[in-house]
Amino acid sequence: MTHTVGILGATGAVGQRFVQLLDGHDGFEIGALTASESSVGESYREAAKWTLETPIPDGIADREVLPTRPEAVPDDVDLVFSSLPSSVGERVEPDFCEAGYVVSSNSSNGRLDDDVPLTIPEVNPDHLDLIEVQRDERGWDGALVKNPNCSTITMVPTLAALDEFGLERASVATLQAVSGAGYDGVPSMAIVDNAIPHIGGEEAKMETESRKLLGEFDGAEVSWHGARVEASCNRIPTLDGHLENVFADLADEPSPAAVARAMRDYPGVDLPSAPESLIRVFEEPDRPQPRLDRNVDGGMAIAVGGVTDTDGGIRYNCLAHNTLRGAAGASLLNGELLADRGYI
């Protein structure tokens, strides 16, 4: 069955990735593209500063850009993907849910709300059933589902693989690509030959979202994981791919070989856009690297390397493509999970 979908904020960096990923998708067909009022009425070609390595898909370039309002989106749209700025998403996404649309959103607003599923299909697909709680509490016919921050989603699958060893604490330092800030996000004179040791709000997102994602859902609420999570986030002059240095304290004190095996064997999920193996473990100590490894399995897998032990636990490096696995691809997987579970 093919579902007709819409993209809110279709002209931005993540919106463009949605367009790219949905081109030729077996289960989803683009039926609506929305953007800010300044772009409404223009063709998508005119409105989007297209920056991706592939051209705008056939049939999309001349599509008219619609207002980001529920009444402007055709009734046959079953699912809406959102890449809106959080300040806009906070205001607009509930309107779509009230109007009966199911929204799979990459925007940061609402991720920690008690009744909003924050979901990675391979990690916590059962959290999706928070939709029933959400609908009861808010009176919506639609629903709102979130994927985590691009830095969080790079680390959390690896922590999920280690939870069997008794995860007690995780510390992470990130080296994040400039595309994570959007097309106009980091001036070239600020980032070239430089590293910026601060990304506003990023540390807090990693420290809170991780614990919600790893938490237990009892059918009514999510109890957050008890591990302590600490983050330091840095912007570096790579285009795509967030590299992270993780230190994990584990109660069972497994060997590096056992940790690597647990990550390598961590199960995937049977969804169209999911990688065959969620975590790819490199034996080389200098991997993964953004330029070499951000596109592993089409940019949808997590790359891991440098697994070693420390006095307190395990150290390793992980990497994911931040606008594919970390943003549009994550929302797309949640959309596929929604379809698979019968929510659309």
Average pLDDT, stretch 293-308?
A: 98
Q: Is the dihedral of CA 168, 171, 176, 182 positive or negative?
A: positive
CA angle 121, 112, 231 (to 5 degrees): 85
Active site residue 150: yes
Q: Look up residue 10 and give its two tokens.
A: 């279709």
DSSP-assigned letter for residue 64: B
Residue 312 has pLDDT above 90, yes or no: no
Cα–Cα distance measured from residue 178 to residue 48, given in angstroms and rounded to the nearest whole number = 19
Model confidence pLDDT, tens digit, residues 95-140: 999 999 999 999 999 999 999 999 999 999 999 999 999 999 999 9
What pLDDT was estimated at residue 311?
Answer: 87
Tokens of 315: 């150290």
**What confidence tier does 23 reach under pLDDT thresholds 50, 70, 90?**
very high
Backbone angles phi, psi at 197, to 5 degrees: -85, 45
> In the prediction, which pLDDT does 131 show?
98
**Mind spelling out the 3-state secondary structure of 184-199?**
CCCCHHHHCCCCECCC
Give which of 261, 277, 234, 269 is closest to 316, Cα–Cα.
Answer: 261
Any catalytic annotation for residue 25? no
Q: Domains plus CATH for the chain?
A: 3-149+327-340 (3.40.50.720), 150-321 (3.30.360.10)
pLDDT for 184 beyond 90: no
Q: Which of 150, 225, 318, 321 is catalytic?
A: 150
pLDDT digits (tens, 9 = 90+) for 52-76: 989 999 899 999 999 999 999 999 9
pLDDT band at 183; cut points 50, 70, 90: confident
Give the Å distances, CA to CA, from 79 to 99, 101, 247, 336. Answer: 12, 6, 38, 10
Catalytic-labelled residue, pool 127, 242, 318, 321: 242
279 pLDDT band, cuts 50/70/90, is very high
What's the pTM value of the predicted model, to 2 decimals?
0.96
Angle between helices 150-162 and 256-264 (to 10 degrees): 110
Sign of CA dihedral 203, 325, 87, 191: positive
- Worst-scoring range by mean pLDDT, 29-33, 238-242, 309-313? 309-313
